[in-house]
Amino acid sequence: QVHLVESGGGLVQAGGSMNLSCAASGGSSSTYAMGWFRQVPGKEREFVALLIWSEDSTHYADSVKGRFTISRDNAKNTVFLRMNSLKPEDSAVYFCAADSRRVGVRERDWGSWGQGTQVTVSS
Per residue in 9-51, pLDDT tens?
Answer: 999 999 999 999 999 988 756 788 999 999 999 999 999 999 9
Sign of the alpha-carbon torsion through 18, 24, 29, 31? negative
Length of the chain: 123
Per residue in 68-121, pLDDT tens?
Answer: 999 999 888 899 999 999 999 999 999 999 998 888 999 999 999 999 999 999
Could you give the CA distance from residue 17 to residue 67 in angstroms, rounded to a whole number? 9
- Half-sphere exposure (Cβ direction) of 20: Cα atoms closer than 13 Å: 32
Q: Average model confidence (pLDDT) for the chain?
A: 94
Q: Say whether 41 sits in a helix, a strand or coil.
A: coil
DSSP 8-state secondary structure symbol assigned to residue 75: G
Q: Say whether 61 sits in a helix, a strand or coil.
A: coil
Identify the pLDDT of residue 29. Answer: 66
**Other beta carbons within 10 Å of 117:** 21
Could you give the CA distance from residue 31 to residue 101 in angstroms, rounded to a whole number? 8
Could you give the CA distance from residue 27 to residue 8 in angstroms, rounded to a whole number? 23
